[in-house]
Amino acid sequence: MKIIRMIPLILIVSMVYLTSAPVQVASLETCNTPTETVTITSPLIENRFDKTEIAFSKNTCVELIFVNDQPESTLTPHDFVVDSADGLTGGINLKPAGGGTESITFMTPDKDITYEFYCAVPTHREIGMEGELIIGAGSSTEDDNPGFGLMLSFIALSAMLVTLLRRRR
């Protein structure tokens, strides 16, 4: 009887463990000859990107160029960041000096997915210096999180077990 009472606790612990386990993903694959190129700029004296959406095809060699139009003497540097995520292990982190340009060439994942990009300088993301990097048709953020489906499954299973156990009493 004590084991039966512990089932909901065991399910909750299992759910937390499985949804927090690291997901194995492919590394950011480099390539030599981009067939698609996009340039994104941080305009002079503005805390924003000139684009809030960047789109690339799936499974394609692409070049992403970030131009920091802020002069070297400014106290407002900018960068371009895409966090490590499914298909982009290691992420993207471009930090050109003021007035400079930095680029990266890579293979896009072979699936429809959407990543968030942003400026990691404190408060810049909060004031709107962010956007979406869309591969293929893109996707919603919940679909990109494999733990999300597992969590919903465990919640449903836990509710069914609790209901069944209460009926047995």
* 10-36: average pLDDT: 55
* Mean pLDDT for all residues in the chain: 76
- What is the number of other CB atoms lying within 10 angstroms of the CB of residue 30? 10
Domain boundaries, the chain: 24-140
pTM equals 0.64
DSSP 101-154: EEEEEEEPPSS-EEEEEE--STTTTTTT-EEEEEETT---HHHH-HHHHHHHHH
Contact 31, 105 (CB under 8 A): yes
Percent of the chain with pLDDT over 70: 62
List pLDDT tens digits, range 94-104. 988 878 899 99
pLDDT tens profile 74-129? 666 789 999 877 666 678 889 888 788 999 999 998 999 999 999 998 999 999 99
Q: Does domain 24-140 have CATH number 2.40.160.20?
A: no
Is pLDDT above 80 for 137?
yes
Confidence band, pLDDT 50/70/90 cuts, at residue 54: very high
Where does residue 4 fall: left (phi above 0), alpha (psi -120 to 50 degrees), or beta otherwise?
alpha
Phi/psi of residue 147, nearest 5 degrees: -70, -25
pLDDT of residue 139: 82
The whole-number pLDDT of residue 58 equals 93
What pLDDT does 52 receive? 94
Count of residues making up the chain? 169
